[in-house]
A and B are shown apart, each in its own frame.
Chain A
Amino acid sequence: MSRSHKIFIGFALALLLTTLFFGMIASFAFLYPEVYNKYLPFYQLRPMHVSAALFWIITGATAGILHFKKDVFQAKETTSEKVFIYLWIATVVSIFIFYAFKKFGGREYWEFPPFLGIPILIAWLSLMFGYFQAWTKRTKNPPLYVWQWSTGIVFFLITFLEQNLYQIPWFRQSFLTEITIQWKSNGAMVGAWNQMIYGTALFIMTRILGDESVAISKRAFAFYFIGLTNLMLNWGHHIYNLPATSFIRHTAYAVSMTEWIIFIAICMDFRSKLSEARKFKHLIAHRFMMYAEFWVYLNLFLALLMSIPAINRYTHGTHITVAHAMGATIGINTMILLGSLGYILKVDELHESNRKMILKGLSIAKISLLVFWLALVVAGLLKGYRDVALGMTNFQEMMQPVITSLKVFSFAGISLFAGIAIICWNYFIALKKYHTPPQNILIDSAALKLVKKQKLEQVIEQI
């Protein structure tokens, strides 16, 4: 692994810790704003948390792709990759500096001043250039994970550009158009990074199982097309209540329902997954992947219910939406990414005490996340019921019982942070100890001896 890749992985892990740290503080700022408003108000903490989460996911996903790409395409690290890595890091750090000075762009997910989108765009184009240059070297019939990575990379660009269409005045002439496009791009962008992450999960599973057939089967490609269709068309569930044209609502509703097929397939695969989990119990990366599967199941069920407009009416704008987002970003994305980074860093080769610590961290995170998620679901149900069924109009009164659930959520957030921090700490140890494969070391040391010998001969000659 090159130095820049090591830095990039370290940066991704630092972003994960930043996400959880600011999330934890923000949850208390939400509960006790009077205390925080003077120094660190919620409106400043939330973008720090959200942006760190977003960049952790994208950084973690691309770190995996850049690493595994070498194996899949037999391609070396390119200059464009380095441009991507360093420009990306510099931009993300700059964004946090702007937040520290309360300079915002005020858009959901992308809360930084819009001009910072320019270096992000340049960095992404550099990544695309390097990736597709390597792809052309691959012969025919690429496995599914290559399609998933490519889909994710391309759709990130499309949705990122779409997210910035509001800079053109025409798109701001109607509030409904503006908000529709904003959530079209936000929704599809989640689908884009999911493609990158699921591609990595599939790649690792093929390596662990030693079986490439799962990545070329017709069934796998069929599920990919369902995922792709949903990426393109199901984002409408974010804006069901918007009085925009009805075809967006009906299309999103119909397309979302195709995900029941995936849900049923997961249920049917449950037994075989369970025996697979027992077989590879000793592998840390596999444990993370299996745990993510559990969250796919739970979160998909919640998402399917929320995609029915009549139910969405109660859940929209409540903490159930947050539960869905947290379940997806922590339960699925973070777990797969930790599995992926653990696989890259060879955490299974760490000292037994480190391995035990990682598994302990995972156990803490598992329990905390479930409590955390359930507290959000309860908070959402309470708010939805009081708002829609009881028709309460006084916001403070409506939120009164919700606050108790959010206190449980905040305390679960502390232990979640602790659990993930333990894992990250040991990953940093693995990153520090990481060594390149033995054959490279032999080549490197042989080359070094040759250079030394030549230099020595030159010195003798001069004397």
Chain B
Amino acid sequence: MSVVFALYSFAVYAFSDVQRKNKPSDEVTAGWKTWQEKNCQSCHQLYGLGGYMGPDLTNTASDKGKEYMRSFIRYGTGKMPNFHLNEQEVNELLAFLSWVDKSGRSKVADSLVHWTGSYRISKR
């Protein structure tokens, strides 16, 4: 059992994303750090994982646009607090969310559901 687990873990580490095309820039890495330090995942989700208070942000960059997100991040709303981020931090956060957006779609389309009940999600 231990051997199976070790081999499977290795396979997951090495092959979960075989393409690895979309490497993060320094700006993305800085935005990722801000995402974590401000604990954004406690209210928002990425790929449906995280909090339930705000919307899933996986594909907001392509669905609603960067400028739409910028106003929310910059000033907050009645429900979302204003984190008083400076322009650079906002840009980094937007770069991170755009990077996540490029990794794939959060919602699984009807056509991808196989008769066995599983999905057929192929390459991005």
Contact = CB atoms under 8 A, between A and B. Distances in A.
Interface in A234-285: 238-251, 253
Interface stretch (A106-114, A119-127, A129-137, A427-435): A106-114
A368 interface: no
Interface residues of B, number: 61
B59 to A, nearest CB: 11
Q: Which 10 A-B pairs have the closest CB atoms?
A: A106-B36, A317-B48, A243-B104, A176-B17, A395-B55, A104-B39, A180-B16, A174-B17, A46-B42, A310-B117
Contacts of B36: 104-107
Interface stretch (A14-22, A34-42, A209-217, A332-340): A34-42
B117 A179 contact: no
Nearest to A45: B42
Contact of B39 (A43, A180, A246): A43
B121 A395 contact: no
Contact of A241 (B9, B47, B117): B47
B103 A43 contact: no
B12 A108 contact: no
Contacts of B4: 232
Given A108-B50, A179-B47, A393-B63, A173 B37 contact: no
A308 B50 CA distance: 21
A46 B51 contact: yes
A275 B116 CA distance: 40
A33 interface: yes
Given A179-B46, A183-B49, A232-B4, A104 B37 contact: yes
B99 A175 contact: yes
Contacts of B15: 245, 247
Contact of A242 (B1, B20, B79, B104): B104
Q: Secondary structure of the B side of the interface?
A: loop
22 contacts: A33-B81, A106-B39, A107-B36, A172-B29, A173-B23, A174-B103, A175-B22, A177-B13, A179-B47, A181-B12, A183-B49, A228-B1, A229-B1, A239-B49, A240-B108, A241-B106, A241-B119, A245-B16, A249-B118, A317-B45, A317-B106, A393-B63
A358 to B, nearest CB: 33
B12 A172 contact: no
Contacts of B85: none
A391 to B, nearest CB: 9
Contacts of B11: 247
A388 B119 contact: no
A250 B119 CA distance: 9
